[in-house]
Amino acid sequence: MITCFIRYEIDPFKKEEFSTYARNWGQSIPRNGADLIGYFGPHEGSATTAYGVYNIESLAAYEAYRARLAADPLGAENYQFAKRERFILKEDRIFLKNMSLPHAMKVAP
């Protein structure tokens, strides 16, 4: 399992548009095969930094997932919405592996 972290730089005057974008992914991402942890937008501090985080089985699974997401009606519309409204100024994506995984596997006494 790997986790995809997407760091967005967003237009601070278009936080509502980013919020709509995030809610749409909240429906489309799980439906197309990724385990969405969440989309996180500015609250305190930076008004321009947001994140999207989800788990996926592997990079190969990610490629298949991206194809399904692009073909999904809501996914396709969300890509077009972002392009049309231009609220995302920059997007960086990184895949990380959880190195502390045994902590989640411990059984409570």
pLDDT at 100: 84
The total number of structural domains in the chain stands at 1
Mean pLDDT in the chain? 93
64: domain CATH number is 3.30.70.100
Tens digits of residue pLDDT in 16-65: 999 999 999 999 999 999 999 999 999 888 899 999 999 999 999 999 99
At 109, the pLDDT band (50, 70, 90 cuts) reads: low
pLDDT at 51: 98
Identify whether the C-beta of residue 36 lies closer than 8 Å to the C-beta of residue 54. Answer: yes
What is the domain range of residue 19? Answer: 2-97
pLDDT at 1: 92
Whose CA is closest to 67, among 37, 33, 20?
A: 33
**Dihedral sign computed on CA atoms, order 48, 49, 50, 56:** positive
Whether 104 is in a domain gets the answer no
Q: What is the mean pLDDT of residues 94-105?
A: 81
Q: What percent of the chain shows pLDDT beyond 70?
A: 92
Whether 108 is in a domain gets the answer no
Say whether pLDDT at 108 is over 80: no
- Supply the DSSP string of 22-35, one letter for each residue: HHHHHHHHHHTT-E
pLDDT at 45: 85
Whether 105 is in a domain gets the answer no
Whether 64 is in a domain gets the answer yes
Element housing 17 (H / E): helix 15-31
